[in-house]
Amino acid sequence: MPFELSVNLEYGFHEAGDRIEDRIAAAAAAGFRKVELFLLKDRDLPAIRQALDDHGVTLISTVADYLTQLVDPATHEGFCATFRQAAENALALGCRNVVVTSGRGVPWLKRPVQLGIFADALKRLVPIAEELDVVILLESANTRHDHPGVLCAMTEDSIVVAEMVDSLRVRVLYDIYHSVVEGEDPAAVLPRVAPWLAHVQIADAPGRGEPGSGAIDWPAMLRLVAANGYTGPIGIECQPTGPSAEAFALIRDLAAAL
């Protein structure tokens, strides 16, 4: 079964200019019907919604926040308000997936304790997610290169936290780039994450360029993802090394031929 692809417009289609509306138009012209964004705060949501509607494009994920250190219980109440606003902004654009990350860990607490505090924060978000009918996507991000000091660096961290929260509103986003950079073996990780898996994102490694620019065997990787039961869209979250439509040609061909 072919995979449908989505494009993160924070990285993709930069050649269309700084306006997200113009990148949506460029993505649609290149044949993409799903896109992803990071933070929606302080953006022109009506203009973005109009561009999505005009071009028949769907926003499938956005991010609540990058910086809040959720291992600190003092941040939890404020983060509830941050999450609610992010979820309401997402809904205004027809999106029901909101990514939540752990923020930085601390050196003076054992890892299981820190993961438990993070899980406590998420438990406070679940009623908001239920009220608004959105899904919380937990994402682990590599600490070796892109996000030094982050608490949830390994995919297992997100799985453990999801298990502690134990809610259908909390799922896991598996980013193959972050996983590979962190030294994980996707063949070992995917069976473990599969019961929680709600979204997959990709970039090549090393370099975080488009698939085909690094060392990952993408035909084998897509087959591995499919073999573990994932059938949803795959998000291209990479820094293209050339014009986006051309850079994404290989992964589009591979995804279509699966």
Determine the pLDDT at residue 170: 98
CB-based contact 176:187 (threshold 8 Å): no
Dump pLDDT digits (tens) for 155-173.
999 999 999 999 999 999 9
Report whether pLDDT(1) > 80. no
CB-based contact 172:121 (threshold 8 Å): no
The token duo for 40 is 């929606």
Determine the pLDDT at residue 8: 98
Instruction: Provide the 8-state DSSP code for 18.
Output: S
**What percent of the chain is modeled with pLDDT above 90?**
95
Determine the pLDDT at residue 146: 84
Determine the pLDDT at residue 219: 97
Please state the pTM of the whole predicted model: 0.96
Instruction: Give 197 or 257, the one with higher predicted confidence.
Output: 197
CB-based contact 160:150 (threshold 8 Å): no
Query: Per-residue confidence at 258, pLDDT binned at 50, 70, 90?
Result: confident
Question: For 215-227, what is the mean pLDDT?
Answer: 97
How many angstroms separate the CA atoms of 138 and 153, rounded?
Answer: 11
The token duo for 190 is 């995917």
Query: Per-residue confidence at 109, pLDDT binned at 50, 70, 90?
Result: very high
Determine the pLDDT at residue 212: 96
Query: Average model confidence (pLDDT) for the chain?
Result: 96
